[in-house]
Amino acid sequence: MIRRVGQSRGGWGQRLAIGWVVGVAGIPVVLLLVWSMAWSWFWPRLLPREWSGRAWQSLLSPASGLWESLGGSLAIATGVALSALAIGMPAARLLARPSFPARRFLLHALLLPVIAPPLASTMGMHALFLRYGLADTYLGVGLAHLVPALPYTILVLTASLTRLDPALEQQARTLGATWGQSWRHVTLPLLLPGLAVAGSFAWLISWSQYLSSWMIGGGQVVTLPLTLVAFQRAGDEPVAAALSLVFLFPPLVVFWWVGRMMAAESARLPDDTTTDRNDQRKDGPIR
């Protein structure tokens, strides 16, 4: 009975904590939604006096440039995520080996692009890209986004590969599987949660980049953060609020997809507690 009471209290505590986090995170979204449907909203009124769909009509019109910037951001972020996974996986496989020389030094060196001031690193990349003709191009903006996204991808994949038992691949090879078959049927299914998390990190980092998109793109490559800042500086708060909601929607979809994948993976794996109880029933009480 005492254990059940403790579990019920813990369950209520978890529900309250989750409700508090969701409520605090949802307040800005609600305010943006109200702003986007308001004609004007001035202090100290709690709600707007007049409501209007002008902001959404203006934003969804072809003249706003929303669809061009949205398509550009989606294309660049998806390309950065796929490139980060393709480059980060071989590096993570090497860094996951404890016997790899200079492993600790390389893991710390990966953080240098993140520790460096963004303005300094972006100006250095801009000078280099001007020399090689990559400035003002989608490829140059994607490479600039890849610099801060790749360290997170490699670190997440390294952590996933460190927890992976290498004997599983060896057993598959012993049973006659080729390298490609063992990778596809054994290693890849076990790495799917880590790949999803690493890819989502790279995607979100690229999605939210403003400084590198502005400096490397030079106004020729228009992304959604650039359009959002332009509308915000124009002083039209309802349109800026509506565009902020559009900017928030794809990351929420990514979080939902990763959460579903992690939940499915947790449901697929056996429960350690249930396994221990079954072993205890077979072997008798542990003394």
User: pLDDT value at position 116?
Assistant: 84
What total number of domains does the chain contain? 2
pLDDT at 277: 44
Query: What pLDDT shows up at residue 286?
Result: 41
The reply to whether 75 and 122 lie within a common domain is yes
Tell me what pLDDT residue 272 has: 46
Burial of 64 (0-12, 13-18, 19+ CB in 10 A): middle
Q: What is the pLDDT of residue 273?
A: 42
- Within a domain: 260: yes
My answer on whether 154 and 234 are in the same domain is yes
pLDDT digits (tens, 9 = 90+) for 33-60: 988 888 877 777 778 888 888 889 988 8
Same domain, 121 and 233: yes
* Residues 19 and 70 grouped into a single domain: no
Residue 72 shares a structural domain with residue 211: yes
Could you tell me if 183 and 74 lie in one domain? Answer: yes
DSSP letters along 150-208, please? Answer: HHHHHHHHHHHHHTS-HHHHHHHHHTT--HHHHIIIIIHHHHHHHHHHHHHHHHHHHHT
Q: In this structure, how many other beta carbons lie within 10 angstroms of the beta carbon of residue 120? A: 9
Residue 105 lies in a domain: yes
Q: What is the CATH number of the domain that holds 219?
A: 1.10.3720.10
In which residue ranges of the chain is pLDDT below 70?
1-10, 265-266, 268-287
Alpha-carbon distance of 182 to 178, in angstroms, equals 6
Based on the domain organization, do 101 and 3 belong to the same domain?
Answer: no
| 186 and 60 both lie in a single domain | yes
> Do residues 37 and 51 lie in contact, with contact meaning Cβ atoms separated by under 8 Å?
yes
* 216 and 101 assigned to the same domain: yes
Residue 47 tokens, joined: 């709600």
Residue 234 and residue 161 in one domain: yes
Is residue 287 in a domain? no
User: Which range of residues forms the domain containing residue 144?
Assistant: 53-268
Residue 46 lies in a domain: no
**Domain contains 69:** yes
**Pairing status of strand 38-40 against strand 50-51:** antiparallel
In a domain? residue 169: yes
Q: Do 251 and 109 belong together in one domain?
A: yes
In a domain, 279, yes or no: no
**Within a domain: 282:** no
* 69 and 94 share one domain: yes
pLDDT at 287: 39
> What DSSP string runs through the chain?
-HHHHHHHHHHHHHHHHHHHHHHHHHHHHHHHHHHHTEEE--TT-SS-SEE-SHHHHHHHSGGG-HHHHHHHHHHHHHHHHHHHHHHHHHHHHHHT-TTSTTHHHHHHHTTHHHHS-HHHHHHHHHHHHHHHT-TTSHHHHHHHHHHHHHHHHHHHHHHHHHTS-HHHHHHHHHTT--HHHHIIIIIHHHHHHHHHHHHHHHHHHHHT--HHHHHHHTTTS--HHHHHHHHHHTT-HHHHHHHHHHHHHHHHHHHHHHHHHHHHHHHHSPPHHHHHHHHHHHH----
